[in-house]
Structure 1
Amino acid sequence: MEFLAHWGITALSLWIVSFIFHGISFTSKKSLLLSALLLGFANAVIRPVIIILTIPLTLISFGFFLLVINALMLLLVSTIVPGFKISGFWTAFFASIVITLLGLFVGLFVFQSEDRLLNVPPAHQGVMI
């Protein structure tokens, strides 16, 4: 069930990003869902290998090279999936940032639990001394 939720969040993020950036387009719902599935696979399997191979670049750039890796994963998926087009690297770069942020915020609402990171303490009445 959690897999389907992550897949849906990624698909929703890709769909929203296609409205924000005119350089990203999908020809059908099938290409959108396949792109979300393959992006999840690329982030789970290929991305960690690339991160390990580029540790020196990541350290020199204080971690900013990870943004480049995210953009490259998005471009890789766009070359594999027919019907998913990205106009260039910079579109993929900024779109990957937005996809990450959207996935984070939607995931916070979907995967609520007792041990979540953002705990809001209950409001107290009166003055605490």
Structure 2
Amino acid sequence: MNLILRLLITAGIVLLLAHFLPGVAVSGFEAAIIVAVVLALLNAILKPILIILTIPITIVTLGLFLLVINACIILLADKFIDGFGVNGFWTALLFSILLSVSQSIARSFLKEQKKTD
């Protein structure tokens, strides 16, 4: 149940960011759900492999290269999904940063609700 709720929240955030960010387009809520699922799969499968392969450059850049990996995952999701589009690398970088921050805020609200219940 928690996974489904997190995917729905991510889909809502994707829709919201696509509305406000120029260069990001989502065709509808169904496409946003597919984006959330594909991003979850890419982050679970591909991201750890990329992190291991890029450990030296990540250490040299003090972890900032992880932002590049996140942007590349967003661009890869753009290639896989027809109803989702990102115009370029810098837009994908900004989208990934805003998505991560928004997801962290949403998760903190969910944790506070569980503590009060």
Aligned to 1:12: 12
Q: Percent identity?
A: 32
Q: How does 1:1-129 map to 2 (within 5 A)?
A: 1-112=1-112, 113=114
Query: 3-state DSSP class of the match of 2:82?
Result: coil
Query: 3-state DSSP class of the match of 1:22?
Result: coil
Name stretches of at least 5 consecutive residues in structure 2 with no aligned partner: none
Structure of higher CA gyration radius:
1
Distance in 2 between residues matched to 1:61 and 1:43, nearest whole Å: 21
Number of residue pairs aligned between Structure 1 and Structure 2? 114
RMSD (CA atoms): 1.1
The structure whose residues are more often helix, as a share, is 2
Q: TM-score, normalised by structure 1?
A: 0.84
Query: 3-state DSSP class of the match of 1:111?
Result: helix
**Aligned AA for 1:8?**
L
Distance in 1 between residues matched to 2:95 and 2:65, nearest whole Å: 15
Deviation at 1:45, TM superposition (A): 1.0
8 Å Cα contact 1:9/1:107 also seen in 2: no
Distance in 1 between residues matched to 2:111 and 2:9, nearest whole Å: 11
Distance in 1 between residues matched to 2:98 and 2:10, nearest whole Å: 11
